[in-house]
C-alpha cells in the first residue's frame, strides 16, 4: 500500500506541473511518488480549475517572484509619495515664514 500525502503537498506538486511547467517524470523521481499518481492529481487539479489559495509555506518560485515584484513596486511608489510630501512640507514651511 502506498504512502498517503497531505492535500497541501498534492496541490504543491500540481502547481509545479501546471503553473511552472515542471515535468511529471522529474517530480516523480524527486519526490518518490509514482508517475501515475501525479498524473491523477494533476488531472483532478485541472478539472477543478478553480483558483486554489496559496498555502503558507507552499508557494512556488513563480509566486514568490510575483510577490517580490509587487512589493518592490509598492516600495518605489511609497518612496515617490514620500519625496512629494517632503517637497510640499518645505513649500508650506517657506510660505508661513
Name the domain count of the chain: 2
How far apart, in Å, are the Cα atoms of 19 and each of 4, 37, 63, 89, 93? 24, 18, 10, 47, 53
Domain match, 65 and 52 both: no
Question: With 90 as the cut, is the pLDDT of residue 84 above it?
Answer: yes
Q: What pLDDT, on a 0 to 100 scale, did the predictor assign at position 94? A: 84
Question: With 80 as the cut, is the pLDDT of residue 3 above it?
Answer: no
Domain match, 29 and 5 both: yes
Domain match, 13 and 53 both: yes
Q: What pLDDT, on a 0 to 100 scale, did the predictor assign at position 50? A: 47
pLDDT tens-digit series, residues 25-75: 999 999 999 999 999 999 998 877 544 455 555 666 777 788 899 999 999
Show the domain range for 15.
1-58
Residues, the chain: 97
Instruction: Please give the biggest Cα pair distance in the chain.
Output: 83
Amino acid at each position: 500500500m502506498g504512502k498517503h500525502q497531505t492535500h497541501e503537498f498534492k496541490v504543491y506538486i500540481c502547481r509545479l506541473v501546471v503553473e511552472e511547467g515542471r515535468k511529471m517524470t522529474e517530480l516523480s523521481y524527486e519526490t518518490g511518488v509514482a508517475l501515475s499518481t501525479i498524473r491523477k492529481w494533476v488531472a483532478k487539479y485541472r478539472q477543478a480549475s478553480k483558483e486554489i489559495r496559496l498555502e503558507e509555506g507552499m508557494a512556488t518560485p513563480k509566486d514568490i517572484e510575483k510577490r517580490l515584484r509587487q512589493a518592490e513596486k509598492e516600495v518605489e511608489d511609497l518612496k515617490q509619495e514620500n519625496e512629494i510630501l517632503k517637497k510640499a512640507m518645505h513649500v508650506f514651511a517657506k510660505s508661513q515664514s
